[in-house]
Amino acid sequence: MAEGPVLIHVWEVQPAEESSDIQRLEELFARQIATDPGFVSARILRSDDRTSMAVVIEMRSVEDRQRLEQLPEVRETLDHLHSVNLVLRLYDQVKVYKA
């Protein structure tokens, strides 16, 4: 399967730590990810029961995504958040629908 420009991270969280995890991600997105020239969009998602979170990051190209993943601040933040039960997969886009 070919790699795509979208990165999806899913992990379990402790409800008591959810707020600090979201803040840490918001800071990372504002300082590092959203200012990157290859940035397209990013989402922070959480489950209704607040025991799981996901981050979806879309970059312009596979190379942009790979470069972003190697930045020390990105690695440090994601490693911290994913200390327990990380599910990491790269997805190849099959179809997109827009308004």
Number of other CB atoms surrounding residue 21 within 10 Å: 19
pTM over 0.85, yes/no:
no
Kindly report, residue by residue over 32-88, the tens digit of the pLDDT: 889 999 999 999 988 888 888 888 899 999 999 999 989 998 888 877 776 555 555
The CATH code for residues 6-90 is 3.30.70.100
Which of helix, strand or coil describes residue 98?
A: coil
Q: Where are the domains of the chain?
A: 6-90
Q: Which carries the bigger pLDDT value, residue 25 or residue 98?
A: 25
Give residue 41's pLDDT: 92
Contact 58, 6 (CB under 8 A): yes
